[in-house]
Amino acid sequence: MISVFDVEKLQKLLKDFYAITGIRITVFDDSMRELVAYPTRVAPYCALIRESAEGLKACMNCDRQACRTAAEKKKTHIYRCHAGFTEAVAPLYGSNMLIGFLLFGHVFPYDSQEEGWQEIKRRCASLTIDPQKLHEAILQATPMQDDYVRSAAHILHAVASYLILERMATLKEDILEVRLDTYIADHYTEPLDAARLSRALGIGKTQLYALTKKLYQQGMAKRIRELRMKKARQLLRDQRDLPLAEVAWQCGYQDYNYFFTVFRREVGCTPREWRNEHT
């Protein structure tokens, strides 16, 4: 596990989420291991399904696949689980690295208990569970409409952002990927090449290139260019009177003509044109 969680604060936050939505919420670490949930007990119908070895395996596989999908998309993923309930998972990212996941589940997304029962019975037909007990549990379920679930998913996304902002979930600072991302973020406006980064991190260039590719899915030079262009756009938008040469200098370009060329290639227009369109 490369992340650290403040479980006590998380428990309070999850309790608040449940109080607002009535939906159970769980935190997983980056290896998809459950850390904390509220309420601690799963819904009665889910508990029955998980009493079956096949049901438990299907639930775990469903969680893992959903987490992988959310991590790949880097956004909240809403889906229907193997048993027919609606769930949502939001990935937690810090310093461009996956820290963990927030997941809510066991949502009964049907207009009536009978409609839901027919679908869930069909999906769970192969599981070794007592259908009468499952039916009785389904009759106690609270239907939730799609609009409500989508709203809850939006809150889940906001909770994920707040969780990172308040450092309830953080990366271990000695992780090499964290050190690399932090160093680039602190020095991208300075002359920065592979030799300097290698010295700063105490690793060879081959390892540095592999690490950069893994972390950013692109080369180091492109990552630095992206950060510089982001800063350039911010300066052009927020400081309209700032001379273009000064914008270039603050972004790490001593030669304005070179900055002009890079900006036009990366952004698709000149710095002046971009400023005029966005201010």
68 plus 199 within the same structural domain: no
Phi, psi of 81, deg, nearest 5: -75, 175
- Helix axis angle, 176-187 to 205-216, nearest 10°: 90
57 plus 152 within the same structural domain: yes
Eight-class DSSP state of 139: T
Range in 48-57, 87-96, 173-182, 212-221 with the lowest mean pLDDT: 173-182
Q: Between β-strands 169-171 and 86-94, what pairing exists: parallel, antiparallel or unpaired?
A: unpaired
pLDDT band at 173 (very low <50, low <70, confident <90, very high): low
Helices (H), 22-130: 44-51, 53-73, 113-123
**Six-digit token pair at 150?**
């989508």
157 plus 249 within the same structural domain: no
- The pLDDT > 70 percentage for the chain reads 97
Using CB atoms within 10 A of its CB, is residue 89 exposed (0-12), middle (13-18) or buried (19+)?
buried
In total, how many domains does the chain have?
2
147 plus 190 within the same structural domain: no
Using CB atoms within 10 A of its CB, is residue 26 exposed (0-12), middle (13-18) or buried (19+)?
buried
150 vs 277: CA distance, rounded Å: 34
168 vs 94: CA distance, rounded Å: 11
Phi, psi of 102, deg, nearest 5: -110, 130
83 plus 153 within the same structural domain: yes
21 plus 64 within the same structural domain: yes
192 plus 141 within the same structural domain: no
**In this structure, what CATH number is given to the domain that contains residue 193?**
1.10.10.60
Bridge partner residues of 26 (DSSP):
37, 103
The verdict on pTM exceeding 0.85 is: no
**In this structure, what CATH number is given to the domain that contains residue 47?**
3.30.450
Give the chain's mean pLDDT: 90
Choose among 96, 88, 24: nearest CA to 62. Answer: 88
Range(s) of the domain holding residue 64 = 3-171
Averaged pLDDT for residues 182-190: 91
